[in-house]
Amino acid sequence: MSAEHITDIESAAQGDTRLAARGVTVGYGGRTVIENLDVTIPPGVITTIIGPNGCGKSTLLRTLTRLLKPAEGAVVLDGEDIAGLRTRDVAKKLGLLPQAPVAPEGLTVADLVAKGRHPHQSWLRQWSSDDAGVVERALAMTGVSDLADRPVDSLSGGQRQRVWISMTLAQGTDLLLLDEPTTYLDLAHAIDVLDLVDDLHESGRTVVMVLHDLNLATRYSDNLIVMRAGSILAQGHPRDVITAELLDEAFGLRATVIDDPVGDRPLIVPIGRTHVRPGQVPVRTSQVRLG
């Protein structure tokens, strides 16, 4: 998908794009975090929002899920302003996993995942055989069927995150927004969760997430949104976007970008003040402020 197509909001509105922000200005209290921002989420791929702390990446994700209401502009879901839709109808189209959610002590995995069916239920119809089937499939797809009877609080961090993703899956939406799904996870569990996210994408879902780890973001995304100070610095495929210049501009990070020895994406090697052998840093055209 070319960059022109992604940024072209007009064609997106009538094409298959499902989620976009148009001229949104968002803030907390009196403080504006994002000003007049346009973004279109390409369908069927994994989009990851990256950027330095406080750049507004979580704010953007929360705005896209209508957790935050923009002061100006609108978030458009399937051609309609999300602010005008019923909360329940949004929940049938768009699944959301906030950062570090906490389950009540003693709640079992099966009961937590079953909560994902809430948007499809009503006061009278609180549980149906459809619900049971969907929950079964969500548990199986995230590989937590064997844990179904265990309390969520007895699981490891990685398992717990799988369970929460399972709940979001049970919601039955093909748009998934995940706010830092790898927070508090060690690298092995982070990879495990991101592999799961990749499976979800393979099965046709559109995923938007916020990640802190740049190399994980590069490895697992088809579309990166790089933010700085409330605006979008670059957007596109990691191969096109990730350069040493961009990392310096966005994060103030000195780094060298090499080819990932195991993948087809770039790999970021950060350069700190210490532990760098003077002769060992490869000299490349994309490298800046060295020596």
Partner 1 sequence: MSGTDVKRSVAPGVRLGQVSFVWRPWLVSVTLLLAAATFLVFCLSIGVGDFPIGLSRVIATILGGGERVDEFVIMDLRMPRALAGLIVGVALGVSGALTQSIARNPLASPDILGVTGGAGAVAVFLVTVSGGTAAAVVSAVGLSAAALAGGLGTGLLVYFLAWRRGIDGFRLILIGISVSAVMEAITTWLLATADIKDVARAQAWLVGSLEGRSWGEVRVALWCTLVLLVVVSCVAFQFKPMHLGDEVAAGLGVRYSMVRAVLLLCAVLLAAVAVSAAGPVPFVALVAPQVAMRLARCPTPPLVASGMVGASLLIGSDLVARTALPITLPVGVVTAAIGGPFLVCLLVRANLR
Residues contributing to the site for partner 1 (CB under 8 A): 28-29, 65-67, 86-92, 95-98, 101-112, 114-116, 118-119, 121-129, 131-133, 135-136, 139, 145, 148-149, 151, 168, 171
C-alpha 134/C-alpha 167 separation (Å) is 10
Nearer to partner 1, 122 or 285 (CB): 122
Residues 117/169, Cβ–Cβ less than 8 Å? no
Nearer to partner 1, 207 or 232 (CB): 207
What does the DSSP 8-state code read for residue 261?
S
In whole angstroms, the minimum distance from the beta carbon of 90 to partner 1 comes to 7
What is each CA distance from 1 to 4, 20, 69, 122, 223, in whole angstroms?
Answer: 8, 16, 30, 40, 9
Nearer to partner 1, 40 or 168 (CB): 168
C-alpha 272/C-alpha 270 separation (Å) is 6
What is each CA distance from 291 to 80, 232, 233, 247, 281, in whole angstroms?
Answer: 52, 30, 26, 17, 10
How far is it between the farthest Cα atoms of the chain? 72
Task: Quote the distance between the C-alpha of residue 136 and its chain's center.
Answer: 24
Nearer to partner 1, 56 or 266 (CB): 56
C-alpha 186/C-alpha 147 separation (Å) is 20
Nearer to partner 1, 105 or 264 (CB): 105
Span between the terminal Cα atoms of the chain, in Å? 38
Nearer to partner 1, 67 or 271 (CB): 67
In whole angstroms, the minimum distance from the beta carbon of 169 to partner 1 comes to 12
Nearer to partner 1, 50 or 113 (CB): 113
What is each CA distance from 97 to 62, 108, 162, 178, 199, in whole angstroms?
Answer: 10, 18, 11, 5, 17
Rounded (5°) CA angle 59-63-69: 110
In whole angstroms, the minimum distance from the beta carbon of 155 to partner 1 comes to 14
